[in-house]
Copies of this chain bind each other. A is one copy, B any other.
């Protein structure tokens, strides 16, 4: 059984590593000939709007999914004529425009920071984001004055979304999964640490108090979108309440700890979900910490010398600010995590 994947990045690579033991085979479409997924499946190199390549991807696949949310919705829609595309392209569409996304939250009664198309809608301080194509902190700025707002608007260009700058206690994320058979499951809440808009580290489970609230919010999205697959909902915790920040209609960096830290990884459950197979348990096996390797990779022998460190490298050439891998520790003490963080920070410089 072949699964087609739009995008051949590290998420595609980890999908294939999780799906190969289930007897699945993978075909990827990606413009980059050295895409990380090349090692674990057949890589079709081409643009996402190349009709011939899309057809080739669809040819033997039982389902096509995506691992990158900036895949053109048009490509997903064209594929849909040939093969099931899951999560549904409507989810991709909602996630690609930050204003559409926020309006979806609003329509479903999911609380968010105040937002609008002008700074006047939200006041200062604020965050301004391009409505499209931002990721990992690219295409966004914090605004503390009208002057900063004017500069940002000029520099970012294109349609913008303004959001109230939230004073939050924690950034959290919940991963929800729904299968084509309608079965749903939720992973334990994750606390994420972001810097310059990039996820640096994560810890799970992040406490049971807000779990029900987070599941309820994510559940509204699953139902509204007729969803199948894993969906990530990023949240701010402020005064015991959750405000939705962003949704990602795919497996997500905040869930990489599930490979070793949960009974079933987000990658395996995404595949089970889009194939209509029974979902696996999302229970955590213990407290887990995830550290991203950004901009540089520490020597393998130093990482592996940290007891319990599970190393995941994506096979990407180093570049400042680029996610090159991650390390997961399960049930380990703070010592191990601190060692990995120190190694990661040293390598990033």
A199 within 8 A of partner (CB): no
User: Which one of A64-72, A224-232, A309-317 contacts B?
Assistant: A309-317
State which of B40, B276, B325 has its C-beta within 8 Å of the C-beta of A39.
B40
Task: Kindly supply a per-residue 1/0 record for chain A positions 267-308, scoring 1 wherever the CB is within 8 Å of any chain B CB and 0 otherwise.
Answer: 000001000111011000100000000000100110011011
A322 within 8 A of partner (CB): no
Nearest-CB distance from A328 to chain B (Å)?
10
Nearest-CB distance from A13 to chain B (Å)?
8
A17 within 8 A of partner (CB): yes
- Measured between beta carbons, the chain B residues less than 8 angstroms from A280 are 304, 308
* A21 near B25: Cβ-Cβ < 8 Å: no
* A305 near B281: Cβ-Cβ < 8 Å: no
A20 within 8 A of partner (CB): yes
* A278 near B263: Cβ-Cβ < 8 Å: no
With A22-B313, A300-B277, A301-B277: A263-B39 Cβ-Cβ less than 8 Å: no
- Chain B residue at smallest Cβ distance from A306: B278
With A41-B39, A313-B21, A315-B23: A277-B304 Cβ-Cβ less than 8 Å: yes
- Measured between beta carbons, the chain B residues less than 8 angstroms from A39 are 20, 25, 40-41
With A39-B41, A285-B285: A23-B300 Cβ-Cβ less than 8 Å: yes
Nearest-CB distance from A299 to chain B (Å)?
10
Task: Kindly supply a per-residue 1/0 record for chain A positions 59-94, scoring 1 wherever the CB is within 8 Å of any chain B CB and 0 otherwise.
Answer: 000000000000000000000000000000000000
Within A24-43, the residues touching B (CB, 8 Å) are 25, 39-41
- Measured between beta carbons, the chain B residues less than 8 angstroms from A304 are 272, 277-278, 280
- Measured between beta carbons, the chain B residues less than 8 angstroms from A311 are 21-22
In the complex, which of the residues A20, A276, A305, A315 has the most CB atoms of chain B within 10 Å of its own CB atom?
A: A20
- Measured between beta carbons, the chain B residues less than 8 angstroms from A21 are 17, 310-313
Q: How far is the CA of A23 from the CA of B318 in the complex (A)?
A: 13
Nearest-CB distance from A293 to chain B (Å)?
11
- Measured between beta carbons, the chain B residues less than 8 angstroms from A13 are 20
- Chain B residue at smallest Cβ distance from A275: B300
Q: How far is the CA of A167 from the CA of B280 in the complex (A)?
A: 41
- Chain B residue at smallest Cβ distance from A181: B301
With A39-B40, A278-B301: A263-B308 Cβ-Cβ less than 8 Å: yes
In the complex, which of the residues A17, A23, A280, A307 has the most CB atoms of chain B within 10 Å of its own CB atom?
A: A23
- Measured between beta carbons, the chain B residues less than 8 angstroms from A300 are 22-23, 277
Q: How far is the CA of A40 from the CA of B40 in the complex (A)?
A: 5
Q: Can you report 12 A-B residue pairs in the complex whose CB atoms are below 8 A from each other?
A: A17-B17, A17-B20, A20-B39, A22-B300, A22-B313, A23-B297, A23-B300, A25-B315, A263-B308, A277-B304, A278-B301, A280-B308
Nearest-CB distance from A71 to chain B (Å)?
24
- Chain B residue at smallest Cβ distance from A305: B278
